[in-house]
Structure 1
Amino acid sequence: MSKSFSKKNPYVAALIQLLGTLLILWFAPNDAVALGVLLVFWFVTFRPITRFEGALFAAASVVMAGAQILTPVPTIFYFTQETLGNIPLYETVMWGFYVLFVFRLVGTRFTWAAWWKYVLAVGSLLGAFVLCAGSQQSILPALLVAVALIVALFHTKSDWQYITVFVVLCVAIEVVGTARGLWVYPGVATSVHVGGLLPVWMFLYWAGAGLLLLRILPPLLHRVR
C-alpha cells in the first residue's frame, strides 16, 4: 500500500484494515503472533502515520490495557488466553487501533470542554463497572445511565459520527472474537443480547469509552506534531 493511499482513500483503506485485522485475529495461532502480525499490518496500512497519530495510538493502548488489567470483570467478560495479567498480548494495542481507525474516518480533533464534563463522564463510566459489573443484568442499566449522561454532555455532529463508527466497529470485532472463542461473556443468555453471543451492554461500552478517548486524548496531545 503506497504511503499516501490510506489518506487519499480513507474508506477503502478502512475496509482493508478492518478485514485484515479480523482475519489476523481469527487465524493467528496465539496472542504473541497476533500482536506481531497486527502491528506490522497496521503500520503498512495506516502509513504515513504522523507523530500525533502515533501518540494517539500509544496513549489509547496504554489507557485501555491498563484499565482492563486493573479492573477485571470475570463475571461478565473474560479472555480465554490471559498472558499479561488478565488480557492477551494483542489486547494491549487493540484500543490503539480502534481509536486511530475511527479518528482517521471522522477526523475531528476536539478542543477542551469544561473540566467538570470530563469528570462526570469518566466517573459515570468507571462507576458503572466498579459498582455494577457483578452480573449481566446489573451492568446494562448502569451503562445505559452512563452513556446517556455522556451523550448529554457531548453531542455534536462529530460526537455522533464517532459513536456510530465505534458501534459498527464493535459489531465486527465482537462477532469475530466471540465466534472464534477469543473471549467469553458468561451468562450472556440471562441478559439482553444479540444472537446469544453479544450482550447489548457491550455496544454501550464501546460507544462511551471510544467517544471519551477521542474527547480527552487529542486535546492532551495537541502539542505533538
Structure 2
Amino acid sequence: MFHLVKVIHRDLKPSNVLLDENMNAKISDFGMAKIVEMDQDRGNTNRIAEYVMFGQFSEKSDIFSFGVMILEIILGKRNVNIHESHNVAEGLMGYVWRQWKNQESLISILDSNIKESYSQIEVLKCIHIGLLCVQENPNVRPTIATIVSYLNGHSLDLPAPQEPAFFFHRHRMGPDIVTLQETSSGQVANNSILFSINEMSTSGFCPR
C-alpha cells in the first residue's frame, strides 16, 4: 500500500526483513523500533549512531541501519566484535572499513556461502554502498533513492566513503597497552587515553 506519510523504521536488520513468495522484501516488526521514553514499555535492542551520541534520529538513521544490514548479509556476520586487532576487538563496520582503507582484499572476508556463485563487481559495489550508508555524519549518507540508483546502475564510480560511526583510531604502545585517541566527549582527538588489557574474560548473553 502506498503511503504519503514518511515512516522512520529505526530498527532495520536482517531478521526484520521478510520476503514474500515473489522474493519481494517486506519490512516488519515496527513494534520494536520505538525510541524508549519514560511512559513507554517497548524499545529496540540496538541504537543508531546519532541517537546514541546526540539523541537524534531521522530518515538517515534508517539508512545507517540499512548499511549495517547490507554488510551483515554480504559478510555473513553480525555487527558484533568479529575481529581482534592489536588485542582490541572491533565491530563489523570498523573491520570492513580497515580492509577498504588499506586496500586489502575484501573477497576473502565474504560469506563462504556466496563465494561459489557471485559477481565480484556486484559484491564490491554492495560493500561500497554499505560503507556509504554507515558514515558517521548522517548528512553525507545517501538517500534511499540514491541507493536504489547505485544498486540498479552498472558503474562503480561511487563517492568515496568516510569513516563509519563508532570507529576508533588506535595504535600499540607496548605489549598490552593501547591508546584510544578521543576527547572527554567521545570524539576523536590527539589526546591519548592509556589503558591496559588484562586476561579477564567476560560472558555475553544473547536471546535464542
| TM-score under structure 1 length normalisation | 0.30
Larger Rg, first or second structure (1 or 2): 2
Higher RCO (Cα < 8 Å, 6 or more apart): 1
Give the number of the structure whose residues are more often strand, by fraction. 2
